[in-house]
Amino acid sequence: MAPVPPADPDYGLADRLGAGSMVFYPRRDDSPAPPGAADHAIEVEPGVLLGARFYEQADGAPTILYFHGNGEVVADHDDIAEFYRDIGVNLFVVDFRGYGRSSGRPTFATLVSDAAPVAARFHAILDARGFTGPRFVMGRSLGTQPALEVAANHAGRFAGLIVESGAGSLRRLAGFLGLDPEAGEGGELVRAHEAKVRRIALPALIIHGEQDDLIPLSHAAELYDLLEAVERELVVIPGAGHNDLLWVGAAPYFDAIERFVERSGH
């Protein structure tokens, strides 16, 4: 008898156990796009729009679809986008529900499920504007979850996955919610999610701070192990924590991204 494939992860379980109040820290922001950037609205279900900002420089350059971290909004990347510009990369940053100018209320289930319509709209926008360079998906911290969803289930037109300061497993979240990550509903969720991550076939770059005390480095190593079937690289930034990683290690951070998009985009 053939083995039974794992069920799709029931991410709504996290919401039913109160993940919304524990996980999300939405922040509103309506600031206009700076020169050289353009704002977009992405409909993820009828009446629910996510805000996005596209920092573009060249239609033949690589473009990264970027899901940011918790408590962050697209406007926080107005300055950071300059670093991407310096390495010849277009940056397309998307807010979650309830963040920035997005409507709706954030939940763990929609954090993941919104990734599909976001990826579809991302491709449509680039296609309409004649962008021909390779496309990548990236998630930082909380944004790792939608990035993994894209890489696992909607990877067709992407050349690679980048994860920064993220966790690939849900074992820690299960523990926070009072679930046993090895048994019962908690175990089912963890196993189904990890099976999804193992299906990822895109080359991957994982960047993590050595001194990250919010999502410890061991979580990056765990994700590295889960991605055993693909070409992947783990870059550890010495002395960096969770929220100062860019400033402590900007040079190795962007060197790693530049090398990765050059190598994986061909």
For the chain, 266 residues long, give each residue's pLDDT as a single digit of tens: 444 456 789 999 999 998 878 889 999 999 999 999 999 999 999 999 999 999 999 999 999 999 999 999 999 999 999 999 999 999 999 999 999 999 999 999 999 999 999 999 999 999 999 999 999 999 999 999 999 999 999 999 999 999 999 999 999 999 888 889 899 999 999 999 999 999 999 999 999 999 999 999 999 999 999 999 899 999 999 999 999 999 999 999 999 999 999 999 77
Model-wide pTM > 0.85: yes
Which residues are bridge partners to 37 per DSSP? 55
User: Which H/E stretch holds residue 129?
Assistant: none
Q: Specify the residue for token string 């940056």.
A: 91
Give the amino acid at 98: G
**Strand, coil or helix: what is 235?**
strand
CA distance 40 to 220: 32
Which of 34-52 are b and which e, b meaning 16 or more Cβ less than 10 Å from the residue's Cβ?
A: eeebebbebebeeebbbbb
How far apart CA 52 and CA 41 sit, in angstroms, is 6
- The pLDDT, as a whole number, for residue 1 is 47
Going by C-beta distance under 8 Å and a sequence separation of 6 or more, which residues neighbour residue 77?
53, 55, 66, 68, 91, 93
Cβ-based burial of 110 (10 A; exposed 0-12, middle 13-18, buried ≥19): buried
